[in-house]
């Protein structure tokens, strides 16, 4: 568990979400905000956040979509406890389950979900371990592979439910291989730092049991200006609508 003095008080969505995070350890940046904005949930939907950490993505989704039946699964007990604390501080009913994506607890296995979202660890498993074990475990792919995360999400979805991921673009081949024969109608939204820079993140959603074709949405550019110029670090208007406002990303599908 984290001591009070080991935490910082932060906000997301222009103060709509209050988030206590470890001063040293895994800290949410913009990935969970983008992930939540790509989830096509509607009021009353049941949604699972796989690897919910301190609850950033789940709380951002709850701020945008009311009356959700919201659940999270988290392996690290300290972060799971923090997610419960953050949910209470934001007045959000978030049921946090302790466990591994490869062996979810029985209470979670008994449930099915309309949407499952996940920000799986994206550092290469061969990379050197970081100084903070909790942060390293959250960011570096370990015994639970990317395919394991996708399998866990698909198992928890109802037929026609949506799996939503944020990951590195270079893992797209592996993601599509894990979805093959189980989910389709894949939608991709690249996210890049500047208009002339390659995408560094990929938002993906797929529908369980669908045979629909792949769709590629126009990219989201985060910052104004071009690479190598004396460009402003300011967010683009489109990025601000998502990161500071309540805008969703991509046309809504099922929910």
Q: What is the pLDDT of residues 195-214, one digit of tens each?
A: 999 999 999 999 999 999 99
What pLDDT score was predicted for residue 95?
A: 98
pLDDT digits (tens, 9 = 90+) for 53-67: 999 999 999 999 999
What is the sign of the dihedral through the CA atoms of 40, 148, 95 and 209? Answer: positive
Q: Which residues contact 124 (CB under 8 A, 6 or more apart)?
A: 140, 141
CATH assignment of 4-243? 3.40.50.150
The helix/strand count (H/E) of the chain reads as 8, 11
Buried b (16+ CB within 10 A) or exposed e, 64-103: bbeebebbbbbbbeebbbbbbbbbeebebebbbbbbebee
Q: Where are the domains of the chain?
A: 4-243
> Of 19, 16, 89, which is closest to residue 52 (Cα–Cα)?
19
**Residue 140, token pair as written in the block:** 């570096």
Reported as a pLDDT band with limits 50, 70 and 90, residue 140 is very low
What pLDDT score was predicted for residue 123?
A: 57
Percent of the chain with pLDDT over 70: 88
pTM of the entire structure? 0.91
Rounded Cα distance, 198 and 150, in Å: 25
């Amino acid at each position: 568990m984290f001591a009070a003095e080991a935490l910082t008080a932060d906000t997301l969505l222009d103060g709509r979400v209050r988030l206590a995070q470890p001063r040293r350890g895994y800290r949410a940046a913009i990935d969970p905000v983008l992930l939540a904005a790509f989830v096509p949930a509607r009021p009353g939907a049941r949604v699972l956040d796989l690897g919910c950490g301190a609850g950033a993505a789940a709380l951002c989704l709850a701020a945008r979509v009311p009356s959700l039946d919201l659940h999270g699964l988290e392996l690290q007990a300290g972060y799971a406890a923090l997610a419960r604390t953050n949910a209470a501080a934001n007045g959000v009913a978030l049921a946090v389950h302790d466990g591994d994506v490869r062996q979810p607890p029985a209470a979670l296995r008994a449930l099915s979900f309309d949407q499952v979202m996940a920000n799986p660890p994206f550092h290469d498993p061969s990379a050197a371990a970081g100084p903070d074990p909790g942060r390293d475990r959250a960011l570096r792919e370990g015994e639970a592979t990317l395919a394991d995360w996708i399998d866990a999400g698909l198992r928890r979805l109802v037929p026609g439910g949506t799996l939503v991921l944020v990951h590195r673009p270079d893992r797209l081949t592996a993601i599509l291989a894990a979805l093959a024969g189980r989910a389709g109608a894949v939608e991709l939204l690249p996210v890049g730092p500047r208009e002339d820079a390659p995408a560094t993140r990929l938002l993906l959603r797929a529908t369980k049991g669908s045979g629909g074709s792949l769709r590629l949405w126009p990219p989201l550019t985060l910052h104004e200006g071009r690479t190598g110029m004396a460009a402003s670090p300011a967010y683009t208007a489109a990025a601000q609508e998502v990161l500071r406002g309540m805008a969703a990303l991509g046309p809504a599908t099922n929910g």
